[in-house]
Amino acid sequence: MLGVPELLLLVSILASVFWIWMLIDAAIHERDTTDKVIWVLIVLFLHFIGAAVYYFVRYRARRR
């Protein structure tokens, strides 16, 4: 059974992996250079919130 510290550690690791995944995806798959720079900066500076915004706005739309 996980305690609170272990659960927080697990959530923070998963959030960091998600952040890195979205940062790499924005850097690789955005076609327009301006869009690429903007999305990378959004994800970079807003961390998890920026990654979540990128996921719902660009990543999921591209996967459809």
User: Would the pTM count as exceeding 0.85?
Assistant: yes
Computed over its alpha carbons, how large is the radius of gyration of the chain?
Answer: 14
pLDDT at 50: 97
Task: List, for residues 6-22, the tens digit of each pLDDT value.
Answer: 999 999 999 999 999 99
One-letter-per-residue 3-state SS of the chain: CCCHHHHHHHHHHHHHHHHHHHHHHHHHHCCCHHHHHHHHHHHHHHHHHHHHHHHHHHHHHHHC
Task: List, for residues 6-63, the tens digit of each pLDDT value.
Answer: 999 999 999 999 999 999 999 999 999 999 999 999 999 999 999 999 999 999 888 8
Q: What angle do CA 40, 44, 50 make, to 5 degrees?
A: 85
